Amino acid sequence: MYLQHFRLSELPFSLTPDTSFFMGSAGYRDALNVLLVALRSGEGFTKVVGEVGTGKTLLCRTLLNTLSPEFRIAYLPNPYLKPSTLLFSIADELGIKYPKKAGQHEMLSRINDGLLASHTEGRRVAVCMDEAQAVPLQTLETLRLLTNLETEKAKLLQVVLFGQPELDKVLDDPSIRQLRQRITFSYNLKPMDRDAVEEYLRHRLAVAGYDGPRLFEPRAIDIIFQGSGGVPRLINILAHKSLMAAFGEGEVRISRDHARRAVEDTDDARTIAQAGLRTRLGQLWQRASGWFG
């Protein structure tokens, strides 16, 4: 592998959501701050929406690592949960004991007692649900009912939903309109612009131990931006393949040819780059028509 060649201590563009690579810019710090403010304010529901690969899971894990010990967190990465399974999962995450064959009423009672005990200890409780766009409507309604548990002054349970844009369509369903009305904070993760992509590449290389001169040439960054559409997951794939191409040639800088080969070797990136080219050609055609019309 190319680690020694580029003087790296670890792979800088792994697809694993490693929180040590979290970048506090390009909107991600803002998103984290929104989540922290919402949870510390005691609000019921918070929503984060972003396209596939925009870093929702990394943001979620960074949130979990950032929250102080005053919080108890139930992290639910699997969205395909029936209402009863949701209750068991939350109880397991929070360390709440229950009988082996407990019914829904029993589970609600046990969870309520557990939440009250946490409140008495001065600890807040939150559920963080990943891939929430795939959660069944009945399960979302059960989650809403859990947030009805409260004292006279505070909610006993808060919920953060992380999902793809389809989550907004799910929340438009009339059957869960009460849940939608309880979403008081939300954030939409956007793809990065070209400057943010350059900062992202530099940041991840630095975290991975690189301290040499600029590794990616400006034109290579342009191509990676065009091929990724600013989506972090695709940026990682293209940057990794570019490093592999340069390493194979014994080069110490990433040229536009290395980046172009990475795009050509990645189906989604090739599609995005071609769509971007068609858009730019269309804009040039419209401009030329205006000049000569």
pLDDT digits (tens, 9 = 90+) for 50-65: 999 999 999 999 999 9
Same domain, 177 and 266: no
Question: Backbone phi, then psi, for 23, in 5-degree steps?
Answer: -105, 120
- Gap between the Cα atoms of 85 and 104, Å rounded: 9
Q: Is residue 246 part of a domain?
A: yes
User: Looking at the structure, do residues 212 and 271 belong to the same domain, yes or no?
Assistant: yes
Q: Which two tokens stand for residue 14?
A: 């792994």
What CATH number has the domain bearing residue 236? 1.10.8.60
Beta bridge partners of 47: 161, 186
Same domain, yes or no, for 46 and 170?
Answer: yes
119 and 223 in a single domain? The answer is: no
Per residue in 231-246, pLDDT (tens digit) is 999 999 999 999 999 9
- How does pLDDT run along the chain (293 residues), one tens digit per residue? 799 999 999 999 999 999 999 998 778 999 999 999 999 888 789 999 999 999 999 999 999 999 988 899 999 998 889 999 999 999 999 999 999 889 989 999 999 999 999 999 999 999 999 999 999 999 999 999 998 888 877 889 999 999 999 999 999 999 999 999 999 999 999 999 999 999 999 999 999 999 999 999 999 999 999 999 999 999 999 999 999 999 999 999 999 999 999 999 999 888 888 876 555 535 434 554 454 44
Q: What is the H or E stretch that residue 129 is in?
A: strand 124-129
- The number of domains in the chain is 2
Please give the Cα distance from 80 to 158 (Å, whole number): 20
Smallest CA-to-CA distance from 78 within 87, 70, 67, 86 is with 86
- Single residue among 189, 204, 236 that ends a domain in this structure: 189
Q: Are residues 179 and 201 in the same domain?
A: no
Domain end: 142, 163, 189, which one? 189
What residues does 155 pair with on adjacent strands? 150
Asked whether residue 218 is domain-assigned, the answer is: yes
Could you list the residue range(s) of the whole structural domain that residue 63 is in? 28-189
Identify whether 213 is part of a domain.
Answer: yes
Q: Which two tokens stand for residue 222?
A: 């342009």
In this structure, the answer to whether residues 96 and 212 fall within a common structural domain is no
Flag whether 52 is in a domain.
yes
Q: Are residues 159 and 33 in the same domain?
A: yes
What are the residues facing 19 on neighbouring strands?
none
